[in-house]
Amino acid sequence: MSQYDDTNAANQQWQLVAVDGVGATYPQPGTVTGDTFAHDPEVLKKPDGEYLLAFTANGVGLKTSGDRTRWTDVGSAFPGGTPWADEYTGGDRNLWAPELRYANGQYYLWYSASSFGSNTSAIFLATSPTGASGTWTNQGVVIESGAGDDFNAIDPAVTEDRSGNWWMSFGSFWSGVKLIRLDPSTGMRSGSAFHGIASRGGGAIEAPTIHYRDGYYYLFVSFDLCCRGADSTYRVMVGRSTSITGPYVDRAGTSMMDGGGTEILASHGSVHGPGHQTVLPDSDALFYHYYRDDGVAQLGINLLTYDGGWPTVY
């Protein structure tokens, strides 16, 4: 467990040279206190106003907060283990990149089971009446991938479109980010539709999340490399579309299927490899993880504003 509190962080900025050679100023993460370790964070606001956060850990780690600033570890979703996922993880209890949703009077948790460098992977679903540790019931596999597939079934994110349909974006490396329909009554896959929405031709792209705002679906992804501590090169990219199935383009008009993406957050100062982002819709808050100088993963939170319809972190 890690403790980190910088009450001046929100007022500090760093200047760097972005990949395209244009100078970019990125803010420090906002103030986060309490149990601040997080990797691949996902968050929702519960009906009672409390925030529930899930993250990559043994059995899927859980945190809660009353004010979105101070966080408390509250155990794991599956304290008794997940033997149903062992064939994908090799028995490792670490479950990756969870996704949360509250609907139909219950909590939904999608999560990834895999191992590094492998696309023998699966996205599972569990449900709970309360969201608390130990109350989650396995509902089975939503989608899986194997050595014969050109995609990787990890990093799920679920979005409801303007017509009330549920969609899951997911993917890591291989042929890129994919999109499938879900049944909003069960959270399981619906139909056989399978859309490609972003790719770097086999390169490093993963951790999608789609956020709707003012007529556009914004697709946030992470480019480059995670999980190397302070040497991580993750950075947050974005494109947008008027349709949830795409095509998504960046601010320059380049298709995200052709490697496009507008950078909105990257390493700066003592913030290394920010990524695996999600957007909390009630406040346009961007949640992500980053690494400190000592290589420990931390929860990062910043707000989003929109300049000409394009998001900027502040």
Cis peptide before 311 (omega within 30 of 0): no
Structure token digits, residue 148: 């014969």
Bin 107: left if φ > 0, else alpha if -120 < ψ < 50, else beta: beta
Q: Which helix (H) or strand (E) holds 87?
A: helix 86-89
Q: Residue 9, Cβ neighbours under 10 Å: how many?
A: 17
Buried b (16+ CB within 10 A) or exposed e, 183-200: ebeebbbbeeeeebbbbb
Q: Which helix (H) or strand (E) holds 88?
A: helix 86-89
DSSP assignment of 181-194: EE-TTTSSB-SS--
| Dist CA 107 CA 137 (whole Å) | 10
Strand partners, 96: 112
Contact by Cβ (8 Å): 223, 232? no
| Dist CA 48 CA 35 (whole Å) | 21
| Dist CA 67 CA 65 (whole Å) | 6
Residues with a catalytic annotation lie at: 40, 206
118 Cβ contact list (under 8 Å, min separation 6): none
Q: Which helix (H) or strand (E) holds 235?
A: strand 235-241
CA angle 278, 160, 95 (to 5 degrees): 45
